[in-house]
Structure 1
């Protein structure tokens, strides 16, 4: 099932589970997932503030109303995943905001988050992509414990902590469909690279919370949960879960080796571009690769370089 909503694609990926292309930065870059069952809705990630009107339209297209939304759950509080949370919550009177405990304060008072994102991306990018960031009332925020099981209609969503990309990250396992909603815990991939079910993905580890051991543990935990598919925020579905996890871990190790060899963050970015390109199939276009993955690699270079400095 495909339906055009506010210029974006809404795709049924399992009974009652939909993927909404936010259009953030470009088509097929960032997804939000919606679980609908027995008249209840959970919105998993939110996109940026500009995505809120489209998401509200999507809810209506699916035959529901704002009152049917029980939970809004950002996988983590980075603004491409949680930037729309405050505005969504204002429009969804019955919803609770479920979030990792380490991210709850940032949802209630996003001022520190804004300062950090402006420092990383610059004011022009922040003002274009992320404003306005709206606070969520504290009494509507529900910290979610690891292993918590949420009921959405007759469906169960299990909360799984997935640190590595960020300490405040969690994933959601939909037991009925076997889909694991992973946010950024299982790399970033975009259509046109790799194979169906085993897309080319890169580890994305922004500053300031990258921890290699946590990232490796998260990959292992997701594999051990034995999902039928991993549904990442960026972007193709992953069926070959174990093999993609092994590749991600190998790419992470290669990235760490490059981090110790680099003499600057710019040098590290160039090294990562070259090192990870080698995992692509022969004949992959370099310029298309850089266009698709350049920002992710830049962000990872910043995160790995800061991690290296902390080790010293």
Structure 2
């Protein structure tokens, strides 16, 4: 039973990498995250396939404002005449004025790559933006969606609890799990420490908050629905500790970055083998290459922040 929850592949970077979610309740709808501007046609198609129109959407709820989750929010809101955008208190201002988001991402990727991957980032009208504080509940046609503050991956991150399905929409707090890596024991999962706000202790505390409600499943941005949350959380805790230990091990080394990339690659490949992942080692390395690079960068930013 899908409880009115629809997975929407945003087609960011590749298939089955970046998901948004559509919840439909009594003819009313909410999106959770939205991908990039290039994702809008997929989102609107999913809405139509679910028997809804853009006017039926009451909410666009953002887990956080990293551009693979929220880059298309401004454009999508222009297509949803009755929707309000719900965001973490630290995230909401960046939706009203995305200048800092644009500048930061452009500095990293360059203008050409920004256009290719994300398109033009446009603002959301301030009167359509609602701030979700920790513990706030929004209603979708009588269906309660609880928002909680979940720092660790980003300081402006929230997760959404859906009592109807007893599931969390976790953004990046509950890590990454790609369906190509599923084995006979179930999903393989790894944390994401993407720069620039990784905090291992906060991330573990956020994951513990999610587990406290004894969820049946987690809906990840990267990618899809996963079950066995308690088992996956143990895997995440073990890997967060291992990743931090590797970062500290290589903190003072010359050529730290390539050493850390290699150590993370070895860690993830070994654990994937333990989970009987169907891909061979080269396939695992290829699938996780971008995530490994970003995780290494995130750990290095964390090391630098520790020194301040």
Flag whether TM exceeds 0.5 (same fold).
yes
Q: Which residue of 2 aligns with 1:243?
A: 231
Q: Does 1:89 align with 2:77?
A: yes
What secondary structure sits across from 1:77 in the alignment?
Answer: coil
Q: Which residue of 1 aligns with 2:298?
A: 303
Unaligned segments of structure 2, at least 5 residues: none
Instruction: Judging by fraction of residues, say which structure has more strand.
Output: 1
- Which of 253, 270, 273 is 1:281 aligned to? 273
Q: Which residues in structure 2 correspond to 1:97-246 (within 5 Å)?
A: 97-195=85-183, 198-246=186-234
Q: Which runs of 4+ in 1 moved over 6 A?
A: none
What is the root-mean-square deviation in Å for CA atoms of aligned residues?
Answer: 1.5
Q: Structure 1, residues 54-109: CA drift from partner, whole Å, max 9, x if none?
A: 21222222111111110001110001100110001111111100000100111111
In 1, Cα distance between equivalents of 2:62 and 2:101: 15
Q: Which segment drifts farther, 226-235 or 195-204?
A: 195-204
Q: Which segment drifts farther, 123-132 or 244-253?
A: 123-132
TM-score normalised to structure 1 length: 0.92
Q: How many residues end up aligned between the 2 structures?
A: 300
In 2, Cα distance between equivalents of 1:194 and 1:55: 26
2:98–2:123 contact (8 Å) kept in structure 1? yes
1:37–1:153 contact (8 Å) kept in structure 2? yes
Q: Which residue of 2 aligns with 1:8?
A: none
Q: Which residue of 1 aligns with 2:42?
A: 54
Q: Does 1:74 align with 2:66?
A: no
1:100–1:169 contact (8 Å) kept in structure 2? yes
What secondary structure sits across from 1:250 in the alignment?
Answer: helix
Q: Structure 1, residues 168-196: CA drift from partner, whole Å, max 9, x if none?
A: 11111110111211111101111121337
1:161–1:171 contact (8 Å) kept in structure 2? yes
Q: Which residue of 2 aligns with 1:261?
A: 249
TM-score normalised to structure 2 length: 0.93
Structure 1 residue 153: Cα displacement: 1.2
